[in-house]
């Protein structure tokens, strides 16, 4: 009798194992596909960024561990974000990647920024995306939308939120959060939703969320599964064609300066740029040099005499050091100059704003980043002004 029970138990275990193997074999690895990098097109100056801030909200909840057409939905979502990122050119925008509903061993927060908010950087976005695994937990999309609003709150200009989700197990609360965010952004926000799978209720909700903004829309992840449709999607969401006719002509007799009233704004064709050179800071320092203070004093005089301009102070760093350290250093350098203008020059803070680009926009390519005193490295320890005429 005992032997009979043992045989039955072994048979049951074997059947369970066979069932598990059958289930595993049904799950296929989501295929990688080619992408078309839009950087060369962007560099041709035919297109410009039409967003100043963007946040990708990616669903990493337990429902995303389910399969759809034998593919894990979480893998589909990650592939979509990665392909979109690899297609995007180096646009001028602050960006972030935020998840909602991830495995508790990954993070205990309902929603978390795995990248950003930082000047858009393809490598940084992909590194953040690689950290998001495995899926798990509930689907706190409402909390993610609320936090995304905070991420974008202090960014002037146009913003975009891209929500990648299966839309399952959700109430109308995310829709209300999206409406609040749209109202608070005063018409400067586009919400795009990307549905993973075919859950009918999820599709209806994702459509409603996208319809909150007049410029947003919902799309199906399976409709953007190759390079050509992804190029169309990225171009539509993030880029705008440059209208060369809209650029005010500049005569040779009248150079572009803040005084002559030609300033086309941030992310517009041919902004007025003033490169402050490379003598403001020493290596790995955000403290102004004596020469730097002398030059800034001259700029203070210009700003005092031009009440109708605003200045974006853009900090940069050389390539030596980690990406995160250089990003932080560039932001500190921009803040140092802003504080100098306010404290020493008595310039109104309303005329000033800052951004840090880290090592992502070098003036000169550094062949050997270890050479911290090379001409290329010194050229990249710089601050640039963008002048905006009101």
DSSP, residue by residue, 318-334: -SSS-HHHHHHHHHHHH
- The DSSP result for 276-292, as a single string, is --S-SB-TT--SBPHHH
Place of tokens 């459509």: 207
Instruction: Quick: pLDDT tens for 211-247.
Output: 999 899 999 998 888 888 899 999 999 998 775 433 3
Give the mean model confidence (pLDDT) for residues 45-68.
Answer: 91
Per-residue pLDDT for 55 more than 90? yes
Q: Are residues 165 and 300 in the same domain?
A: no
pLDDT at site 258: 33
Per-residue pLDDT for 361 more than 80? no
Chosen domain end from 241, 269, 294: 241
- The DSSP result for 344-367, as a single string, is TT---GGGEEEEE-TTSS-SS--S
**Is the dihedral angle over the CA atoms 237, 242, 247, 253 positive or is it negative?**
positive
Domain of residue 355 covers: 256-389
To which H or E segment does residue 162 belong?
strand 159-165
For the CA atoms of 280, 285, 289, 293, the dihedral, rounded to the nearest 10 degrees, stands at: 60
Q: Are residues 145 and 55 in the same domain?
A: yes
**Beta-bridge mates of residue 243:** none
Q: Are residues 207 and 312 in the same domain?
A: no
pLDDT at site 316: 82
CA distance 381 to 318: 6
Q: How confident is the model at residue 34 (pLDDT cuts 50, 70, 90)?
A: confident
Per-residue pLDDT for 199 more than 80? yes
Place of tokens 């100059």: 337
Percent of the chain at pLDDT > 90 equals 35
More confident residue, 359 or 276: 359
Percent of the chain at pLDDT > 70 equals 77
Q: Are residues 282 and 176 in the same domain?
A: no
Per-residue pLDDT for 248 more than 50? no
More confident residue, 260 or 51: 51
Chosen domain end from 241, 275, 291: 241
pLDDT at site 14: 41
CA distance 68 to 45: 40
pLDDT at site 195: 96
Give the mean model confidence (pLDDT) for residues 87-102.
Answer: 91
Give the mean model confidence (pLDDT) for residues 199-210.
Answer: 94
Alpha helices per DSSP H over 153-251: 173-184, 200-211, 227-238
CA distance 171 to 265: 41
pLDDT at site 31: 67
Does residue 7 sit within a domain? no
More confident residue, 259 or 295: 295
Q: Are residues 106 and 202 in the same domain?
A: yes
More confident residue, 238 or 8: 238
Q: Are residues 175 and 273 in the same domain?
A: no
Q: What are phi and psi of 268, to 5 degrees?
A: -115, 160
Contact 365, 286 (CB under 8 A): no
Does residue 164 sit within a domain? yes
Instruction: Quick: pLDDT tens for 334-347.
Output: 888 888 888 888 88
pLDDT at site 30: 64
pLDDT at site 387: 64
Contact 74, 60 (CB under 8 A): yes
Does residue 18 sit within a domain? no
Chosen domain end from 183, 209, 241: 241
Give the mean model confidence (pLDDT) for residues 125-135.
Answer: 90
Does residue 99 sit within a domain? yes
Mean pLDDT, the chain, rounded, equals 78
Q: Which positions ≥6 away from 255 have C-beta within 8 Å?
A: none
pLDDT at site 243: 54
Q: Are residues 295 and 366 in the same domain?
A: yes
Give the mean model confidence (pLDDT) for residues 72-101.
Answer: 93
225: its two tokens:
């599964």
Model confidence, pTM: 0.60
Three-state DSSP state, 71? strand
CA distance 97 to 79: 14
Q: How confident is the model at residue 107 (pLDDT cuts 50, 70, 90)?
A: low
**What is the CATH number for 111?**
3.40.50.410
CA distance 165 to 192: 11
Q: Are residues 288 and 338 in the same domain?
A: yes
Contact 181, 156 (CB under 8 A): no
Per-residue pLDDT for 376 more than 90? no
Does residue 5 sit within a domain? no
Q: Are residues 293 and 156 in the same domain?
A: no
Does residue 183 sit within a domain? yes
Q: Are residues 92 and 53 in the same domain?
A: yes
How many structural domains are present in the chain?
2
Q: Which of 197-201, 326-330, 368-372 has the lowest mean pLDDT?
A: 368-372
Does residue 40 sit within a domain? yes
Q: How confident is the model at residue 276 (pLDDT cuts 50, 70, 90)?
A: very low
pLDDT at site 275: 47
CA distance 295 to 315: 16
Q: Are residues 56 and 188 in the same domain?
A: yes
More confident residue, 37 or 307: 37
Per-residue pLDDT for 200 more than 70? yes
pLDDT at site 388: 62
Does residue 334 sit within a domain? yes
Q: Are residues 78 and 171 in the same domain?
A: yes
Q: How confident is the model at residue 389 (pLDDT cuts 50, 70, 90)?
A: low
**What is the CATH number for 364?**
3.30.1330.60
């Amino acid at each position: 009798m005992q032997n009979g029970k043992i045989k039955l138990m072994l048979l049951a275990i074997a059947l369970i194992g066979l069932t598990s193997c059958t289930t595993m074999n049904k799950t296929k690895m989501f295929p990688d596909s080619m992408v078309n990098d839009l950087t060369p097109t962007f560099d041709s100056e035919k297109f410009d960024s039409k967003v100043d801030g963007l946040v990708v909200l990616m669903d990493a909840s337990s429902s995303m561990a389910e399969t759809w057409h034998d593919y894990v939905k979480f893998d589909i979502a990650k592939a979509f974000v990665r392909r979109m990122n690899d297609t995007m050119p180096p646009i001028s925008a602050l960006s972030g990647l935020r998840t909602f509903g991830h495995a508790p061993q990954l993070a205990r927060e309902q929603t978390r920024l795995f990248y950003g908010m930082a000047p858009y950087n393809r490598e940084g976005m992909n590194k953040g995306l690689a950290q998001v695994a495995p899926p798990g937990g509930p689907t706190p999309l409402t909390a993610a939308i609320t936090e995304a609003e905070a991420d974008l709150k202090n960014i002037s200009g146009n913003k975009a939120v891209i929500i990648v989700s299966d839309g399952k197990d959700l109430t109308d609360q995310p829709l209300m959060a999206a409406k609040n965010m749209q109202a608070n952004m005063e018409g400067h926000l586009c919400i795009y939703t990307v549905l993973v799978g075919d859950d009918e209720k999820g599709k209806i909700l994702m459509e409603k969320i996208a319809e909150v903004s007049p410029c947003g829309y919902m799309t199906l992840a399976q409709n953007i599964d190759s390079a050509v449709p992804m190029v169309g999607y990225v171009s539509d969401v993030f880029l705008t064609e440059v209208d060369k006719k809209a650029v005010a002509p500049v005569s040779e007799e009248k150079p572009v300066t803040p005084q002559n009233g030609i300033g086309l704004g941030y992310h517009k064709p041919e902004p007025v740029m003033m490169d402050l050179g490379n003598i403001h800071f020493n290596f790995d320092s955000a403290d102004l040099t004596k020469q730097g203070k002398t030059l800034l004093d001259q700029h203070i005089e210009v700003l005092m005499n031009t009440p109708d301009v605003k200045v974006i102070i853009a900090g940069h760093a050389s390539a030596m050091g980690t990406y995160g350290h250089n990003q932080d250093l560039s932001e500190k350098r921009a803040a140092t100059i802003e504080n100098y203008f306010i404290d020493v020059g008595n310039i109104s803070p309303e005329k000033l704003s800052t951004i840090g680009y880290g090592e992502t926009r070098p003036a000169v390519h550094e062949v050997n980043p270890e050479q911290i005193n090379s001409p290329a490295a010194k050229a990249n320890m710089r601050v640039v002004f963008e002048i905006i005429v009101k």
